[in-house]
Amino acid sequence: MYPEPNTQPYTKGKIIFIVEDNETYSRSLKTFISNSFTGIHEIDIFPIGEMCVMELSREPDIIIIDYFLNSKHAEANNGLEIIKRIKLLKPNTNIIVLSTQEDIDVISETIKQYDCTYIPKNQAAYYKIKLSIISILSRAKPSAFKPLN
Amino acid sequence: MKNSDSQNDTIQENTSGENVCDLKDLIEMMNGKRHLIKEIMNTFLEETPKELLSINDAVTKIDYAGIKKFSHSMRSTVSIMGISILDPILKEMEDLGTMSADLEKIKTLHQKLNIICKRAIQEIEQEVQNYS
Burial class (CB in 10 A: 0-12, 13-18, 19+), A140: middle
Out of A22, A32, A35, name the one closest to residue B76 (CB): A22
Question: Beta strands A62-66 and A15-19: pairing type?
Answer: parallel
pTM: 0.84
Say whether A125 and B73 touch across the interface (CB within 8 A).
no
Write down the pLDDT at residue A145: 47
Taking the alpha carbons at both ends of chain B, their separation in whole angstroms is 41
How far does the CA of residue B88 sit from the closest CA of chain A (Å)? Answer: 12
Q: Select from A113, A134, A121 the least CA-distant residue to A65.
A: A121
Q: Percent of chain B scored above 70 by pLDDT?
A: 87
Q: How far is CA B44 from the centre of its chain?
A: 10
Say whether B77 and A121 touch across the interface (CB within 8 A).
no
Contacts of A1 in chain B (CB under 8 A): 25, 28
Judge whether B123 is closer than 8 Å to chain A, CB to CB.
no
Other beta carbons within 10 angstroms of residue A38's beta carbon come to 9
How far does the CA of residue A126 sit from the closest CA of chain B (Å)? Answer: 7
Contacts of A32 in chain B (CB under 8 A): 29-30, 36
Write down the pLDDT at residue A86: 95
What tens digit of pLDDT does each residue of A61-115 get? 999 999 887 666 666 668 888 999 999 999 999 999 998 766 677 788 888 888 9
Say whether B40 and A22 touch across the interface (CB within 8 A).
no
As a whole number, the mean pLDDT across chain A is 85
Q: How far is CA B113 from the centre of its chain?
A: 5
Strands (E), chain A: 15-19, 42-46, 62-66, 94-99, 117-120
Judge whether B47 is closer than 8 Å to chain A, CB to CB.
yes
Give the integer Cα–Cα distance in Å for A145 and A134: 23
Give the integer Cα–Cα distance in Å for B20 and B120: 6
Q: Which domains does chain A have, with CATH numbers?
A: 15-139 (3.40.50.2300)
Question: Beta strands A117-120 and A15-19: pairing type?
Answer: unpaired
Say whether B25 and A21 touch across the interface (CB within 8 A).
no
Task: Please tell me what DSSP assigns to residue A76.
Answer: S
Asked if residues B76 and A22 have their Cβ atoms less than 8 Å apart, the reply is yes
Write down the pLDDT at residue B66: 93
ipTM (interface predicted TM): 0.80
Q: Select from A85, A78, A77, A30 the least CA-distant residue to A55.
A: A85
Judge whether B70 is closer than 8 Å to chain A, CB to CB.
yes
Write down the pLDDT at residue B2: 43
Write down the pLDDT at residue A104: 76
**Rounded (10°) CA dihedral B57, B124, B81, A74:** 20
Give the integer Cα–Cα distance in Å for A32 and A126: 8
What tens digit of pLDDT does each residue of B40-97 get? 999 999 999 999 999 999 999 999 999 999 999 999 999 899 999 999 999 999 999 9
How far does the CA of residue A55 sit from the closest CA of chain B (Å)? Answer: 24
The CATH topology of domain B18-129 is Four Helix Bundle (Hemerythrin (Met), subunit A) (1.20.120)
